Amino acid sequence: MANIVIMGAGIGGMPAAYEMRERLSAEHTVTVVSAVDYFQFVPSNPWVAVGWRTRDEIVLKVGPLLERKGIRFIPKAVTAIDPVGNQLTLAGGQPEEQVLAYDYLVIATGPKLSFDEVPGAGPHGGHTHSVCSVDHAQAFWADYQEFLKNPGPVVVGAMPMASCFGPAYEFAFILDADLRKRKLRNKVPITFVTSEPYIGHLGLGGVGDSKSMMESEMRGHDMKWITNARTTKVEAGKLFVTQVDDLGAVYKEHEVPFKLAMMLPAFKGVDPVAAVPNLCNPRGFVLIDEFQRSKAYKNIFSAGVCVAIPPVEVTPVPTGAPKTGYMIETMITAIVHNIADELAGQPVTAKGTWNAICLADMGDTGAAFVALPQIPPRNVNWFKKGKWVHLAKIGFEKYFMRKMKTGNSEPVYEKYVLKLLGIVRLTK
């Protein structure tokens, strides 16, 4: 009998638990440990920030959902990982409750939001907001309601070492749409500030014609932008930005005024994971091989934003490679297959396809991109926009929440529809 422990109950951890329980025999135990007792559908956070969704609409209590599937749930933070003794140290409780042994560990924690890399940034004592968590989105909504009484300039974007730029673009356009509905857009200049070398780079070196299409959309929505932007500090009502040229030399210094700001922070690995010797790169992201296995510890696997993926290209201001939802699901499926094969005495062979599929809402329209695989060169590389994307994003939200409620990580119709499009989870 083996005990498989999954760290994290998010977009990676929950599907991992469901798939693992479905694929492994009942003699093996599956345990999820998480610092919070709820699942949040992170892609909907921009909607929460402008009041288009409530917290209750995108959050699920995970304990009953997991236990119904025969999965143990421990709502405690992990404070340390002992990869030699194969055990986790948990926060709180009696001493006997603070140690959790494992035979296999799956790390799906997501990132640490490193606001402290830019002085004055962040919602906790700083001057910028985030939509990386539902709590942060709610904090923006609270300030936004006051902002609407006396609107002014807004800054949206991403700081150096951010790893997922899509939500920044989404939020800029969603905010634009909401302000237009309220007849206030004319009172709110919007500036998009990003570490990307150009608009539509997305941390992917662009996808299809994303550069020209996103630039056109921003011009059409009266947004200004600053690229190659190194945000250096934030003060009340002012964002300090050093803009560099393509060679990294200082091009211009900016002081961008704002009454409200949403800037995605740098990402790092969470502290207990980053502290494990030889497990991670210097930023605390887990170093894995092609089978999603740790390069240092053969019974540790990892998936999602917490894994180390080199940037697709060197950029003047450091940018991270995004790990989108479907890409994460392909990683999870590979892990489940590989652990199951190893328990059966078979060699591990499953590799995630790392295909990137993204639906970016823009308020009343949207943009979709498909990159197969995510890292160039690609077999499929396209970027489209239209009102259908907005509707598709709403549909996907409801669909994914239902998957989490029912405990089915890959319904059969999803598998076959995507297969018809040439999109599969595994390569062997």
Strand pairing report for 366-372 and 356-361: antiparallel
What are the boundaries of each domain within the chain? 3-112+268-349, 113-266
pLDDT at 315 over 90: yes
The Cα 2–Cα 414 span in angstroms is 30
Strand pairing report for 3-7 and 104-107: parallel
Q: Per-residue b/e over 361-389, b at no fewer than 16 CB within 10 Å?
A: bbbebbbbbbbbbbeeebebbebebeeeb
What pLDDT shows up at residue 162?
93
The Cα 319–Cα 381 span in angstroms is 20
What pLDDT shows up at residue 412?
57
Top-tier CATH class for 113-266:
alpha beta
Q: Quick one: CA torsion of 6, 9, 10, 14, rounded to 10 degrees?
A: 70
pLDDT digits (tens, 9 = 90+) for 254-289: 999 999 999 999 999 999 999 999 999 999 999 999
Contact by Cβ (8 Å): 111, 270:
yes
CB-neighbour burial class of residue 93 (10 A; exposed 0-12, middle 13-18, buried 19+): exposed
Q: How many helices (H) and strands (E) does the chain have?
A: 11, 24
pLDDT digits (tens, 9 = 90+) for 334-362: 999 999 999 999 999 999 988 878 889 99
Question: Which residue shows structure tokens 């309220």?
Answer: 182
| Percentage with pLDDT > 90 across the chain | 82
Q: For 26, which DSSP code?
A: T
pLDDT digits (tens, 9 = 90+) for 160-206: 999 889 999 999 999 999 999 999 999 999 999 999 999 999 998 99
Give φ, ψ of 283 to 5 degrees: -90, 0
pLDDT digits (tens, 9 = 90+) for 240-254: 999 999 999 999 999
The reply to whether 113-266 shares the fold of 3-112+268-349 is yes
The Cα 353–Cα 327 span in angstroms is 7
Q: What is the topology classification, in CATH, of domain 3-112+268-349?
A: FAD/NAD(P)-binding domain (3.50.50)
- On average, the pLDDT of the chain sits at 94
What pLDDT shows up at residue 411?
66
pLDDT digits (tens, 9 = 90+) for 210-249: 999 999 999 999 999 999 999 999 999 999 999 999 999 9
pLDDT digits (tens, 9 = 90+) for 47-102: 999 999 999 999 999 999 999 999 999 999 999 999 999 999 999 877 777 999 99
The Cα 110–Cα 10 span in angstroms is 8
Amino acid letter for position 323: K
In terms of Cα–Cα distance, which of 327, 191, 270 is closest to 7? Answer: 270
What pLDDT shows up at residue 354?
87
Mean pLDDT across 150-159: 98
The Cα 127–Cα 119 span in angstroms is 10
**Catalytic (active-site) positions:** 164, 358
